[in-house]
Amino acid sequence: MQYLIPYCSSYFAGNEQKYVLDVLQSGLVSGDRKYTKLVQEYFKNQFSIPDILLTTSGSTALDMTAILLNLKAGDEVIMPSYTFVSTANAVLMRGARPVFVEIDETLNIDISKIEEKITKKTKAIYPVHYAGCSCDMDNLLVLARKYRLFVVEDAAQAVNAKYKDRYLGTLGDLGAYSFHETKNFVCGEGGALAVNNHEYLERAEIIREKGTNRSKFFKGFVDKYTWCDMGGSYLPSDLLSAVLLAQLEQKDIITEKRKVICERYRNNLTELEKKGFLSMMKIPEYNTPNYHIFYILLQDGAQRDALLAHLKSEKIGAIFHYIPLHTSKMGAKLGYKREDFPLSVNLSERIIRLPLFAGLAAEQADYICEKIITFFRR
Ligand SMILES: *Cc1c(COP(=O)(O)O)cnc(C)c1O
């Protein structure tokens, strides 16, 4: 269907074409070339990340974390049920078991419910910063230290968002980012692995290069490269890194535009919230948001579905989000039952994400809100 206002739309208003052309003209289109390096430097400097490796997606960055932690059959990894499949797949593909935990009203993992899930088999916690909203990291890290667990942040949605004064993705041992079309900064398909503990860097470079030390070879440290470890093809083309650099150069513009839309939604919907028709996404005081998602929660699933249908009939691309993983076919295979995490189910039935992208005009946001207000007037 053709939307009047889609849910998201990429915003290529900077040097994207110029940089892609530069790569094409150079003839050097594989990975680890000029733009891959420029983007990695940019990340290190802008977000105070000790080391970072661009990857082919957020999902492959997560896959790499599971290899780096040597996850294996018999290991357990704690994560919310309310997340994207890739968080769980990364762990599952190593033979380890995802152990789900309930979320709280921020839609992030409920820290107070982690400890009861920790066993002798637990190896790591994978917190997900949903919507760019930070998990309560101080308390999570205390738990991780107490039980000597690794922490891997699924910061796929959280590029440029902070917990207190630190950027998300830099607080755990490792962090994963995504530059998929739906995220704030886009290169089509792409991701990055934040390596916050230097010990992982050498092996991470090898895993990213099909298990070879080719990256060392390119730097001139070895005179031929060889097979050293398991690995995959996780290095993106410089064509994609070129797009990404242009996006990052517009970081502040893109963020400001998204912020304006979110504030518009907030102002326009305050009246409905006061009347109890809906509630808006809350931002904890420790979080500096990146305005990745703006969501509202309706009173129940039936009302949510009715409003979604109404917006769809107006050709507005509002959408729901995750079906909690424990309720999926795979969740059932892992032994979970729908009743296991009632709040995850409840919130996932009540959520609507409103259109949000840098190219969305404030007037369009007003228009969407008018349609929501009309719905409740009926
Ligand atoms: C987008 C996303 C991913 C996967 O990123 P891709 O780049 O699409 O592979 C993983 N986890 C979360 C929470 C995401 O939102």
What is the predicted pLDDT for the residue at 246? 98
CA of 307 to the centre of ligand 1 (A): 26
Give the C-alpha separation, 232 to 193, whole Å: 14
Is pLDDT at 261 greater than 90 in this prediction? yes
Task: Choose which residue among 57, 59, 186 to substitute to test ligand 1 binding: the one with the highest number of ligand atoms within 8 A of its C-beta.
Answer: 59
Describe the chain by its helix, strand, coil percentages, rounded to 5: 45, 15, 40
Report d(CA 287, CA 165) in Å as an integer: 9
pLDDT of residue 241: 98
- Read off the pLDDT of residues 221-247 as tens digits, 9 standing for 90 and up: 888 889 999 999 999 999 999 999 999
Rama region for 18: left / alpha / beta (φ>0; ψ in -120 to 50; rest)? alpha
Region 280-290: mean pLDDT is: 97
Q: So what's the pLDDT on residue 149?
A: 98
Is residue 269 scored above 90 in pLDDT? yes
Select from 157, 174, 247 the residue to mutate for testing ligand 1; criterion: most ligand atoms less than 8 Å from CB: 157
Mean pLDDT over residues 69-82, rounded?
A: 98
Q: Quick: pLDDT tens for 78-100.
A: 999 999 999 999 999 999 999 99
Helices (H) and strands (E) in the chain, counts: 13, 13
Q: What mean pLDDT do residues 169-198 have?
A: 98
Q: CA 124, CA 144: separation in Å to the nearest integer?
A: 8
Which one-letter amino acid corresponds to residue 198? Answer: H
Residue 83 near ligand 1, beta carbon < 6 Å: yes
Per residue in 329-345, pLDDT (tens digit) is 999 999 999 999 999 99
What's the 374 CA to ligand 1 centre distance in angstroms? Answer: 34
CA 146 to chain centre: 26
DSSP-based three-state secondary structure for 281: coil
For ligand 1, atom 6, name the residue with the nearest CA.
58
CA 158–ligand 1 middle distance (angstroms): 10
Q: Which atom of ligand 1 is nearest to the CA of 189?
A: 7
Q: Rounded mean pLDDT of 169-189?
A: 98
CA 320/CA 346 separation, integer angstroms: 13
Residue 150: φ, ψ to 5°: -75, 150
Q: How far is the CA of 58 from the centre of ligand 1 (A)?
A: 5
pLDDT in the model for residue 178: 98
What residues are paired with 76 via a beta bridge?
A: 97, 122
Give 21's Cβ-side CA count (13 Å radius): 4
Between helix 301-313 and helix 362-377 the angle, nearest 10°, is 120
Residue 40 · residue 54 · CB < 8 Å: yes
- Cα 87 to middle of ligand 1, angstroms: 8
**Ligand 1 and 322: CB distance under 6 A:** no
pLDDT score recorded for residue 333: 98
Q: What mean pLDDT comes out for the span 271-290?
A: 97
Residue found under tokens 């739906």: 182
Tell me the CA–centroid distance for residue 253 and ligand 1, in Å: 23
- In 3D, which of 168, 218, 221 has the Cα closest to residue 196? 168
pLDDT band at 54 (very low <50, low <70, confident <90, very high): very high
For ligand 1, is residue 128 a contact (CB within 6 Å)?
A: yes
Are 86 and 62 in contact by the 8 Å Cβ rule? The answer is yes
Q: Are 53 and 102 in contact (CB under 8 A)?
A: no
Q: How confident is the model at residue 133 (pLDDT cuts 50, 70, 90)?
A: very high
215 C-beta closer than 6 A to ligand 1: no
Distance in Å, CA 311 to ligand 1 centroid: 26
Q: What is the pTM of this model?
A: 0.97
Q: How far apart are CA 76 and CA 105, in angstroms?
A: 25
pLDDT of residue 225: 87
Asked if the model's pLDDT at residue 193 lies above 90, the reply is yes
Partners of 192 in beta bridges:
54, 177
Q: Beta partners for 167?
A: 162
Using a CB cutoff of 8 Å and minimum separation of 24, what contacts does 272-279 make? 272/372, 272/373, 272/376, 275/376, 277/376
Q: Which tokens hold the place of 364?
A: 């369009």
Average pLDDT across the chain, whole number: 97
The response to whether residue 157 sits with its C-beta less than 6 Å from ligand 1 reads yes
State residue 69's pLDDT score.
Answer: 98
**Residues of the chain with pLDDT > 70: what percent?**
100
Quick one: pLDDT at residue 223? 80
Q: Residue 1 pLDDT > 80, yes or no? A: no
